[in-house]
Structure 1
């Protein structure tokens, strides 16, 4: 493990210093390096973005945290005023680091006939493209990552990208199933230790997520979802990266930057989630947040920092992320909630209650809590008891609210994507909220008009300045293609 960590963090350090590189170039991957080490580096690059900047960004947009009155580093997010250079580092981390490294692994695996490693790299590539297109909308895909063959790739429509990555997943699964060569990367796979059964379950779960995200679009595919449900081979253990140590440059990326380096002063509990947990006596509150300096849970309404101008961050609850907290790609809880939604949409709700209950229970397990607490809340008469309904949106709302809670500091950017897609929790003006049932409020310090909130990010200026085929957006309120509710 120490060898993995040394290579991993060396790779991350190099990648972080190459922010001005074209995304089609990758000087970080020597031609003759063993692909297993490059796979670890790719995973490290992915979770650095996912567990670092995306955890911070998603935390604001999914209203898990807000900017405290005594700090201003992330006011651009909390005021919905992110500019064109906001995500330069993130974009380059995922393209020049993660995706280029994965392409190397794919090429080497194909040369060696290693269909297992080819499948792992294909799934991670699909997962990374999913994040990128869900965040930015239309991005380079079919012409991307071709190196000197095409340094100015055109963008593809997000719906076509989804079709493309679903095809990549199926193609890699077919390649493996026709010639099931176990992956040779072994422990260098920091997520599932090259266990191919686990990666096949991951593939099915990722496919289900992609199909469910298309649910409000013309690309919704009931038959594909029904086939996956019938196969019933989804993840049974959380897909997580857990190689972190309590040491600088080796810790969880959010902890390393926000808590250790920046002094734990930029993120305090948003009442949107905190008061939901408080009102429902949910034990996950203590797993998601730390108490304040007075040993109580305390937050503020999203963006309402001016009313607390004399108070510092320690007067409020803050994210309960430690140096060794894993970064999660997908969890069993998320899988259960995806299945619950699928059953509501495409099976008249039959079986949805069992999957919903399992989603809450597995959320407790991911947070390291006694599952008995979940069973009490979801049992007969419990606060979270599932209520069947013939109205799809009514039945779905309770699933998404619980999914939103389960993703807090587990995968916060997914929390944003899902609330963006479903509009649950609903966004209301401050003063009309009911936090007990789950509500968002428009950030008090928003620069946008009306009840508008961000739906996407601007393309990085480092990319638009080099690629004339990428046209900058006019507003953060532009919707990505699946946001059609």
Structure 2
């Protein structure tokens, strides 16, 4: 019976249309559905957003890929000219799909006294709200998801949302610790198979990420970070959604849309990352990009947005993202966790132990990409290209960590790559012609509609939201900063 139900769910989950799942089209909360199936639907919805539209957007903004000269599908992203309609679908996916489904799981888990499932759903809810507020800034939170009780919720300040999210994690962890009932969703948890030790670690890692995101703000909390470091209970296995198949409507969302449906013509390697990898003899180049289709094939990219220089060429003349139908969508990786810990040690513990975490971050990045970890060690060992060099200057020490974090997130969690480069300003953005790709530099995308060295810091609220909710005031520019962007 369980297998029959699972097959039925897979049919529902993977009957997709463009970039979102049909199972999530209906914003009404399900009534007589087992919460385990709804949890999988919520995870699938989150993965669709993260691995689909956000992977594409983050790829452009973190300069992992750029628009080829022969296509213009995403020219608005490459020139920083996204409009108010850009994220209508994404907003609906994460609110009406993921968060709405998680609300149902939380309510059912609470009714049943299932503290394990409550923790799982809480952690995913916090993760989703973190992504939304990091993208848009102030969004509905305290008044959100109340249905007919409040159809025009007021937005909360991003700083207040972060405080609330940390409180949610603490409450869910406390609820589970005081009454540790293992989740009964079993294999319907497509991320950690309802292994509660893994979810506790995920919650702790997510909390560390929230604290580190606040590092340049007045809410930076050294004691809370050091308490997490002392407990040392972070993820040891990548948190990923990996139910994809090499079949129509069942593939990785980026592959399904950009490669399969749109013909692999819209995303080519940006020299910002490709040349960093190539000049440093980093074998991750072959994991992140495919060789071009010429014979013999080579790795080849263009400077961000520099389409006119190559006007007569097509996408297949260049390297493209190495994403296949079964590539998982990653929420948090062990590499990211190690880089978070390295930054925490640099900022709040005088740098002691940061080298080990940095080295572990690079090594685990290689493992996530399916590469031999000894190749990473050759780069980070004494005398290696990526050898960690301790420094009494926090920013000097930190830059090494963030550059490697930026690399490790390519095709893994592109939008997180954007958030972190936005927060830290590493790699630094320079005008084309002044870059040094070997150390890690962004260039202002050719054709940018913004002035100077400005790049986007946020997204406009979706038109579908501002037209329905008078309490949401549209931004005037993509250069408005979210609250933690204070460097």
Q: Offset at 1:373? A: 0.5
Name the counterpart of 2:3. none
Name the counterpart of 1:313. 315
CA distance in 2, matches of 1:132, 1:409: 20
Match of 2:457 among 409, 433, 455: 455
Pairs within 5 Å for 1:393-408: 393-408=395-410
Equivalent pair of 1:7/1:37 in contact (CA under 8 Å): no
Indicate yes or no: 2:135 matched with 1:130: no
Match of 1:7 among 12, 23, 28: 12
Q: Deviations over 1:437-468 (max 9, x none)?
A: 00000001101111110000000000000000
Q: Offset at 1:6? A: 1.8
Name the counterpart of 2:393. 391
Structure 2 unaligned runs (5+)?
A: 1-5
Indicate yes or no: 2:416 matched with 1:429: no
Q: Deviations over 1:236-294 (max 9, x none)?
A: 00000000000111000000000000000000000000000000000000000000012
Name the counterpart of 1:44. 44
Name the counterpart of 1:365. 367
Equivalent pair of 1:38/1:101 in contact (CA under 8 Å): yes
Name the counterpart of 1:99. 99
Say if 1:440 and 1:15 are closer, same or farther in 2 by CA, change over 3 A: closer
CA distance in 1, matches of 2:118, 2:358: 33
Say if 1:165 and 1:109 are closer, same or farther in 2 by CA, change over 3 A: same
CA distance in 2, matches of 1:169, 1:127: 10
Name the counterpart of 2:157. 157
Match of 1:375 among 367, 377, 383: 377
Name the counterpart of 2:349. 347
- SS of the residue aligned with 1:427? strand
Q: Offset at 1:11? A: 7.9
- SS of the residue aligned with 1:390? coil
Q: Offset at 1:7? A: 3.2
Q: Offset at 1:26? A: 2.1
Structure 1 unaligned runs (5+)?
A: none
Name the counterpart of 1:276. 276
Equivalent pair of 2:16/2:22 in contact (CA under 8 Å): no
Indicate yes or no: 2:80 matched with 1:80: yes
Q: Offset at 1:13? A: 8.3
Q: Offset at 1:8? A: 1.9
- SS of the residue aligned with 2:203? helix
- SS of the residue aligned with 1:317? coil
Say if 1:110 and 1:15 are closer, same or farther in 2 by CA, change over 3 A: farther
CA distance in 2, matches of 1:11, 1:255: 13
Q: Deviations over 1:313-358 (max 9, x none)?
A: 0000000000000000000000000000000000100000000000
Name the counterpart of 2:177. 177
- SS of the residue aligned with 1:290? coil
Q: Deviations over 1:37-87 (max 9, x none)?
A: 000000000000000000000000000000000000000000000000000
CA distance in 1, matches of 2:74, 2:20: 23
Equivalent pair of 2:21/2:48 in contact (CA under 8 Å): no
How high is the TM-score relative to the length of structure 2?
A: 0.97
Name the counterpart of 2:27. 26
Q: Deviations over 1:13-44 (max 9, x none)?
A: 8965699x8xxx823x4301000000000000
Equivalent pair of 1:12/1:45 in contact (CA under 8 Å): no
- SS of the residue aligned with 1:55? helix
Q: Deviations over 1:100-147 (max 9, x none)?
A: 000000000000010000000000000000000000000000000000
CA distance in 2, matches of 1:4, 1:279: 47
Q: Offset at 1:187? A: 0.2
Q: CA RMSD in A?
A: 1.4
Say if 1:13 and 1:110 are closer, same or farther in 2 by CA, change over 3 A: farther
Equivalent pair of 2:240/2:331 in contact (CA under 8 Å): yes
Pairs within 5 Å for 1:250-265: 250-265=250-265
Say if 1:210 and 1:146 are closer, same or farther in 2 by CA, change over 3 A: same
Q: Deviations over 1:153-177 (max 9, x none)?
A: 0000001000001100100111111
